[in-house]
Amino acid sequence: MSTATTRVPAPPAPARHPDPGAPALLLRGLTQRFGSVTAVDGIDLEVAPGEVVAFLGPNGAGKTSTLDVVLGLAQPTSGTVEVCGTTPRDAVDRGWISAVMQTGGLLKDLTVAETVELTASLFSSHQPLDAVMERAGVSGIAGRRVGKCSGGEQQRLRFAMALLPDPRLLVLDEPTTGMDVEGRRAFWKAIRDDAQRPHRGRTVIFATHYLEEADTYADRVVLVSRGRVVADGTAAQVRAMSSGRTVRATWPGATPAEVDRLGLLGGVESVSLVGSTVTAHTTDSDALARHLLSATPCRDLEVTARGLEDTFLALTQPTNAQEQR
């Protein structure tokens, strides 16, 4: 009988760095259903290395369901996800992706430094502890017990823990919920300073329902509603998606019927009357302003570009037809 043995090739050594040409994140047709609820409804998204992306949407838009799949915490119903060119699980194992979640993961009797040290012991290799604490802005509170740290300090500590493997992709799920203004500012300063360090190329994706956070801290805003991407671009581009302007004026003694008739003018999308203030959204503000100043007793006329908030509402609020479904 032959005793020939079959040589089994050794598994390839783990790559220490992701393929530089691979997107930091690639979602194709990502769908997540929970029973009859479609939480994520076919999301396609490609994020390049180094981008800071806000995943913005109202409650229940599907942000957490998407990020859970990206982090390998859940399997999608259908569609594909690649993190740095590999599967989420593999990316987690290699330390290429890590997360700052809203809650959990902290023991309140340990100090900040002990927490970072304990977390570091779980990695086969990690960044120097002093360096991650410095970058996350917790060096000054190294000896403080976690239970005595404010919400913002605890989030910066989670950030320090997430930096230990020096991840290429950092995922933050509504990281500043419940923080005061100063805590939010300090947290975002630490995140931005880290992302802007030369040659790091760290990609950051953060879920938020704070418009101002998306506007201020993200290079790119991906607006999601009902499990779908409804806008994608810089904050300025997303704002411009709901074209048009807001025209506001004081109309003493206006009747609802008179104000409703403004809706018949070309370009007027909506009009409302509160007290004697008329507010209209229109794609032709010149024509509406001319009409208000010449054919009505309106005064104190104001024309403003739509804000991100108007766009957010316009793109995420259900239409009547959707409400009736």
Ligand X SMILES: Nc1ncnc2c1ncn2[C@@H]1O[C@H](COP(=O)(O)OP(=O)(O)OP(=O)(O)O)[C@@H](O)[C@H]1O
* Footprint of ligand X (CB under 6 A): 34, 37, 39, 57, 59-65, 209
What is the DSSP secondary structure assignment for residue 168, as one 8-state letter?
S
Nearest approach, Cβ of 54 to ligand X (angstroms)?
13
Name which of 188, 193, 128 is nearest 155 in CA terms: 188
Smaller CB distance to ligand X: residue 96 or 187? Answer: 187
Nearest approach, Cβ of 226 to ligand X (angstroms)?
9
Smaller CB distance to ligand X: residue 61 or 214? Answer: 61
Please spell the DSSP secondary structure of 169-183, one letter per residue: EEEEESTTTT--HHH
Nearest approach, Cβ of 229 to ligand X (angstroms)?
12
Smaller CB distance to ligand X: residue 18 or 57? Answer: 57
Nearest approach, Cβ of 50 to ligand X (angstroms)?
25
Nearest approach, Cβ of 177 to ligand X (angstroms)?
9
Q: CB-based contacts of 275: which residues, under 8 Å, 6+ apart?
A: none
Smaller CB distance to ligand X: residue 60 or 266? Answer: 60
Nearest approach, Cβ of 205 to ligand X (angstroms)?
13
Rama region for 170: left / alpha / beta (φ>0; ψ in -120 to 50; rest): beta
Smaller CB distance to ligand X: residue 43 or 149? Answer: 43
Smaller CB distance to ligand X: residue 71 or 271? Answer: 71
Q: CB-based contacts of 100: which residues, under 8 Å, 6+ apart?
A: 155, 158, 159, 162, 170, 171, 172, 173, 175
The helix or strand, by DSSP H or E, that contains position 245, with its residue range, turns out to be strand 245-250
Name which of 263, 267, 255, 265 is nearest 297 in CA terms: 255
Name which of 66, 58, 57 is nearest 38 in CA terms: 66
